[in-house]
């Protein structure tokens, strides 16, 4: 349609539109990516499942933060072993040794140390024994921990399988026995008398990775070797996977929250949700508003008065309090997301109706409308074949304009705690950050990006709407 082509050209001409469309493409691409790669029940299965994030450091900034600070923070290291580094057979026992050696040159201690065992198999009645050693750069070697795999239960027959569905995870730096081992180390090598409970208070990681200095501990830099030795009493002993985690103080692209959740993952998930909310709400609102506007303007009479009264009443009701009320009251039965969308639609459509109506009133008097009546066109035909196309460009621009409002409204609701807790929308992430006091503690990486993304999404649509404006409102075209 050449009318459309002219319009497109006009739209494209301004820089604003180009930027807006570019941002929109970016949003859509990311959303498609997320939809394709994430499972649908991501929210419940992963996001709200603390076990999934157990191996992450809690509340740490993103990795690139290291570029901006003088203190170098250790990165988060996860080392998975599917096979032992070394296997020895010694006096009827099979020894699996897992060795991880790393160079620690950072200004801060690791946040924690943990080990997980997955899929352990053995067939002797005596279960395997696991020992964890830490070899420090100052040539001190500490046996941090020693524990035994759960033995065979009465009635159970070999081979025995352990930790198949869920790994056995040991947080080394939180274990009392480790405190004792470290306390002993301090006494033996540094002559310090620090009780195990005190080691726990200072922080086991500080002791394990540091050396005493003044009142506290200083980071001991150098080469460390973390060794896990699994001693089994039969030939079938096998560990499906052994994982060592040296908790970092930075993580990933966007850092983590207090549950250790990778914020980048959560934020990505927010993309398609934001787009869904934005588009769904604004599309339905626009359709309803446009249709009622056309009907109201063309049919006149009681229908018109009725629609106008209804619009008037709805417009006089403040949106946010009502949203809050409904979400609160209905949110327990119906998934919150749909309640929010429904209420947004129900209370937004009249704002379009009252603008479309006077336009329709004017178009109604056109001669081609009269001609259509003369041809014998029924009212519905005239309304949608002749009148609607005239208001369509304006309505479309409004659609674009509504979208950011919807996104912002949902974000605001989530922020107040009325969002859908099973799904990590940007508003939700921000709300969790705010509620846990993140603002006051300075967890900027948690609090700023979601807001930034919301602003970014909103601006995308605002830019496009700005670009559309001269197309729709010819008076502004004159000035260019």
Partner 1 sequence: MTDLLRLQDIKVYFRSRAGLFKTVEVKAVDGVSLSLGRGETLALVGESGCGKTTLARTSLRLIRPTSGRIIFDGADITHLPESELKWFRRKAQAIFQDPYSSIDPFMTVKQILEEPLILHKIGSREERMEMIARALEDVKLTPVEEFMGKYPHMLSGGQRQRVVIARALILRPEYIAADEPVSMIDASSRAEILYLMKELQERYGVGFLYITHDIATARHFSDRIAVMYLGKIVEMAEPRELIENPLHPYTQALIEAVPEPDPNNRFRERKVIPGEPPSPINPPPGCKFHPRCPYVMDRCRTEEPQLQEIKKGHLVACHLY
Partner 2 sequence: MGVLRTIGIRALTLIGVVIAVLLMLVIVLGVTGLSDKMLKAIADQILMEIRQGLAREIKDPEALKAAIEQQRMEIYAAFGLDKPWYARIPDMVVRVMTFDLGYTRTIKSFTGSQRVADIIWERLPNTILLVTTAIAISAVLGLIIGVKVATRPGSRLDRVASYFSAISFALPTWWTGIIFIFVFAFYFRLFPFGGMYSAPPPEEPLARFLDLLWHAALPVTTLVVALVGSWIYVTRTIVLNTAQEDFVAAARAKGLPESVVRRRYIIRVAAPPILTNIVLGLAGSIGGAIITETVFQWPGMGSLYYQAIFSLEENLIIALTFIFTVVYVAARFILEILYIVLDPRVRY
Residues of the shown chain interacting with partner 2 in the complex, contacts defined by CB under 8 A: 309, 312-313, 315-322, 324-326, 328-330, 333, 351, 404, 408-409, 411-412, 415-418, 430, 434, 439-440, 442, 444, 447-448, 451, 454-455, 458-459, 462-463, 466, 475, 479
Binder of partner 1 out of 39, 367, 440, 478 (CB under 8 A): 367
Classify each residue of 444-477 as buried b or exposed e, where b means 16 or more C-beta atoms within 10 Å of its C-beta: ebbbebbbebbbebbebbbbbbbbbbbbbeeeee
Region binding partner 1 by CB under 8 A among candidate stretches 108-116, 297-305, 311-319, 373-381:
373-381
Q: Residue 138 binds which entry of partner 1, partner 2, none, with Cβ cut-offs from 5 to 8 Å by kind?
A: none
Whether 104 and 276 have beta carbons less than 8 Å apart is answered as no
Binder of partner 1 out of 376, 440, 479, 480 (CB under 8 A): 376
Long-range contacts of 384-387 (CB under 8 A, 24+ apart): 384/294, 387/294, 387/297, 387/298, 387/360, 387/363
Sheet strand arrangement including 141-148: 86-90, 93-104, 222-232, 129-135, 141-148
Q: Rule CB under 8 A: say whether 373 interacts with partner 1.
A: yes
Least Å distance between CB 266 and partner 1?
46
Q: Rule CB under 8 A: say whether 380 interacts with partner 1.
A: no
Tokens 């909103």 locate to 458
Q: Residue 376 binds which entry of partner 2, partner 1, none, with Cβ cut-offs from 5 to 8 Å by kind?
A: partner 1
Least Å distance between CB 398 and partner 2?
14
Measured in residues, the chain has a length of 480
Least Å distance between CB 152 and partner 2?
49
CA–CA separation, 226 and 217 (whole Å):
20
Least Å distance between CB 480 and partner 2?
8
Q: Rule CB under 8 A: say whether 5 interacts with partner 1.
A: no
Binder of partner 1 out of 375, 440, 478, 480 (CB under 8 A): 375
Long-range contacts of 150-154 (CB under 8 A, 24+ apart): 151/125, 151/126, 151/127, 152/125, 152/127
Binder of partner 1 out of 148, 197, 213, 366 (CB under 8 A): 366
Dihedral sign for Cα atoms in the order 472, 475, 477, 480:
negative
Least Å distance between CB 358 and partner 2?
13
87, two tokens: 């296997």
82 closest CA partner among 229, 246, 245, 243:
243
Binder of partner 1 out of 48, 283, 308, 390 (CB under 8 A): 390
* 371 or 441: CB nearest partner 1: 371
Binding site for partner 1 (CB under 8 A): 1-3, 366-368, 370-378, 381, 385-386, 389-390
């Amino acid at each position: 349609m050449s009318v459309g082509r002219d319009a497109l050209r006009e739209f494209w001409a301004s820089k604003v539109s180009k930027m807006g469309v570019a941002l929109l493409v970016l949003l859509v691409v990311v959303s498609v990516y997320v939809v394709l790669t994430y499972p649908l029940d991501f929210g419940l299965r992963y996001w709200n499942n603390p076990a999934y994030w157990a191996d992450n450091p809690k509340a740490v900034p993103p990795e690139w933060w290291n570029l901006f600070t003088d203190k170098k923070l250790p990165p988060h290291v996860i080392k998975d072993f599917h096979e032992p580094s070394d296997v020895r057979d010694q006096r009827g026992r099979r020894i699996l040794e897992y060795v991880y050696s790393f160079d620690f040159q950072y200004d801060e201690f690791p946040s924690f140390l943990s080990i997980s065992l997955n899929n352990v198999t053995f067939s002797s009645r005596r279960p395997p024994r696991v020992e964890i050693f830490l070899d420090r750069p100052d040539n001190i070697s500490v046996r941090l921990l020693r524990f035994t795999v759960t033995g065979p239960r009465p009635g159970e027959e070999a081979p025995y399988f352990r930790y198949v569905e869920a790994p056995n995870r040991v947080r080394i730096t939180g274990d009392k026995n480790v405190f004792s081992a470290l306390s002993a180390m301090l006494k033996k090598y540094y002559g310090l008398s620090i009780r195990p409970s005190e080691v726990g208070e200072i922080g086991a990681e500080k002791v394990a990775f540091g050396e005493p200095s003044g009142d506290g501990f200083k980071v001991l830099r150098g080469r460390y070797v973390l060794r896990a030795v699994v001693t089994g009493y039969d030939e079938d002993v096998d560990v499906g996977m052994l994982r060592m985690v040296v908790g970092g103080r930075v993580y990933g692209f966007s850092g983590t929250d207090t549950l250790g959740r990778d914020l980048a993952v959560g934020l990505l998930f927010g993309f398609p949700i934001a787009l869904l909310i934005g588009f769904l709400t604004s599309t339905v609102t626009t359709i309803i508003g446009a249709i009622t506007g056309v009907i109201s303007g063309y049919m006149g009479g009681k229908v018109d008065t009725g629609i106008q009264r209804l619009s008037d009443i709805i417009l006089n009701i403040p949106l946010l309090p009502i949203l809050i009320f409904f979400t609160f009251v209905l949110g327990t039965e119906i998934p919150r997301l749909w309640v929010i969308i429904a209420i947004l639609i129900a209370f937004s459509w009249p704002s379009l109706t009252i603008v479309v109506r006077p336009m329709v009133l004017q178009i109604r008097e056109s001669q081609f409308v009269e001609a259509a009546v003369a041809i014998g066109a029924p009212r519905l035909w005239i309304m949608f074949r002749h009148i609607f196309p005239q208001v369509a460009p304006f309505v479309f621009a409004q659609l674009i304009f509504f979208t950011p409002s919807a996104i912002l409204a949902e974000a605001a609701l989530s922020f107040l705690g009325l969002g859908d807790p099973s799904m990590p929308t940007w508003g939700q992430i921000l709300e969790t950050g705010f509620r846990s006091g993140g603002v006051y503690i300075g967890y900027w990486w948690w609090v700023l990006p979601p807001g930034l993304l919301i602003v970014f999404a909103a601006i995308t649509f605002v830019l496009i709407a700005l670009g559309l404006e001269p197309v729709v409102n010819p008076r502004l075209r004159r000035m260019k």
